[in-house]
Amino acid sequence: MTGASFIGYTRGSLAGPKSHAINPSTQEVMEPGYAAPSAEEVESAVQLAASAFPAYRKTSAAQRAEFLRSIAEEIEESADALAARGTAESGLPEARLRGETGRTVGQLRMFATMLDDGSWLDARIETAIPDRAPLPKADIRSMLRPLGPVVVFCASNFPLAFSVAGGDTASALAAGCPVIVKAHSSHPGTAELVAEAVIRAAQKCNMPNGVFSVLYGSGRDVGMTLVTHPEIKAVGFTGSRTGGRALMDAAAARPEPIPVYAEMSSINPVVMLPGVLGEKANALAEGFSQSLTMGVGQFCTNPGLVFVPEGSQQAFLNALEKHIKNAAPGVMLNAGICLAYRDATAATSRHQGVTQFASEVSTNQGQGSPMFFVCSAQTFLQSPALTHEMFGPASLIVIGSLDEITAAAKTLEGQLTASIFGTDDDLTQTPELLEIIERKAGRLIFNGYPTGVEVCSTMVHGGPYPSTSDGRSTSVGTMAVLRFTRAVAWQNCPQALLPDELKDSNPLKIPQMINGKRA
């Protein structure tokens, strides 16, 4: 490991100011130091991406699928090194790093399979009607094409699956867009190992120089330079609301505004209904405790808010208290996140009308301790601060009548997920509540907790603002490729000049919608 940025196929200099990863379990400063790229190096990465785009957008779907599969293989080759470095940089257990490696290569292969299939392109053909009156109809065909170079910001909480070769990178490369990654300062070594894997794959697959770069340095400096650069055409980001909104505002203020796909914050409300609480309060409490504390609560889909109907709460709360009292604190991703968690939970604990229940296991430096808070729906409705995310293993339980819960649900901001637990009877009796949470969220979960995001063709991991910048898209699953594409139409184009995907002969044998009907 060298500590230098990846400027296409060359490495940057080590002259810039260096930053080091800090092992959050031991507070050890880890070598090497990672050098911020110079302004010239950032510009060079962008120009390489821009010059790679014409060649990369012309690659066949089969070539890009091979590239993605090759990246997956190269990452698997580095699995042991990633488990070691990733564990040290993130404080996450080795099993989690290995599982996340599996998810990351699975995502890459999913997009490769999507490229093989071709239906994602939405290839459409309307054939000419030369003798139509009063005017002839032209032959018009359309399909999705890539936007151009994309910047991807790594997330702190998924050092692999939402980082250098994570979902945004995989979907952008699948679409035909060169990618420049801004590495996260918490896990620069993990980033370097993955970047080396991607570069090896790109060279093996003869991809154009500049199809992929990874830059170290600060978000405010390097990140903003990238987002405001005229050659950059879209941005993917997972992180804080402050950071995401700053990128959104900068992108919207450009002479040519560009889309920013920022996943920012979500408290992922859970609604418990009376019937199911009567049937299995203990099991619900156990499941909730597991969902809340998994990964030290550092998931975008962590359940940070639970509505429990008044009169049905006691068995659930009693069981939950037992689980949380014995739940082990865990090392958090970095000192900043740990501090923010302690501040946020301290603020909630000081809030009038709020009772705290916390783990009784002793906490060490850098660790987050599981806890929950309880308040009435009236308190919740009067306190907008209680809807703020506490990123970590803490949740707020709100007790109220079903009417109060419905009223509280109406006040919620946009969310990645909303969960509802109920018997069939419970659920059929609450149509208004179901409708409200559908309007607030990207994914509705029935009788399940929100953690655990399936990577598949139906996943929507997105939601109305402020859970994401743009509720029209997802960062997980095959639909994520739509972020980095636009439809283009060809009118009366000679067959020989059409993309293969739109030819009458359909040489790639992909699904085509012909004259309004899917074949």
As to burial, measured by CB atoms within 10 angstroms (0-12 exposed, 13-18 middle, 19+ buried), residue 470 is middle
Cis peptide before 466 (omega within 30 of 0): yes
Nearer Cβ to a second copy (332/479):
479
- Judged by DSSP in three states, 267 sits in coil
Token representation of residue 156: 């702190």
Q: Which amino acid is at 214?
A: V
Beta strand 415-421 pairing with 441-446 = parallel
Q: How far is the CB of 496 from a second copy (least distance, A)?
A: 7
> Could you count the other beta carbons within 10 Å of the beta carbon of residue 400?
22
Give least dist CB 395 to a second copy, A: 19
Q: 156 or 473: whose CB is closer to a second copy?
A: 473
**Terminus-to-terminus CA distance in the chain, angstroms?**
51
- Residue 170 corresponds to which amino acid? A
Instruction: Please confirm, yes or no, whether 300 is among the known catalytic residues.
Output: yes
User: Nearer Cβ to a second copy, position 195 or 251?
Assistant: 251
Task: Give the nearer residue to a second copy in terms of CB position, either 39 or 487.
Answer: 487
Of 34 and 120, CB closest to a second copy = 120
Which of the residues 89, 263, 389, 404 is marked catalytic? 263
- CB of residue 28 vs a second copy: minimum separation in angstroms? 31
74 part of the active site: no
The residue among 291 and 313 lying less far from a second copy, judged by its C-beta, is 291
Q: What is the DSSP string of 102-143?
A: HHHHHHHHHHHHHHHH-GGG--EEE--BTT-SSSPBPPEEEE
Instruction: State the minimum distance, in angstroms, from the CB of residue 19 to a second copy.
Output: 32
d(C-alpha 396, C-alpha 379), whole Å: 12
| Minimum distance from residue 322 beta carbon to a second copy (Å) | 25
Smallest separation (angstroms) from a second copy to the CB of 356:
30
Pick the closer one to a second copy by CB: 220 or 439: 439
State in angstroms the smallest separation of the CB of 323 from a second copy: 21
Buried b (16+ CB within 10 A) or exposed e, 52-87: bbeebbebebeebbbbbbbbbbbbeebbeebbebbb
Which of 300, 338, 375, 404 does the annotation list as catalytic? 300
Q: Are 368 and 392 in contact (CB under 8 A)?
A: yes
Kindly provide the b/e burial profile for residues 275-303, where b requires at least 16 CB atoms within 10 angstroms of the residue's own CB.
bbbeebbeebbebbbebbbbbbbbbbbbb
Neighbouring-strand partners of residue 474: none
Residues forming the active site = 263, 300
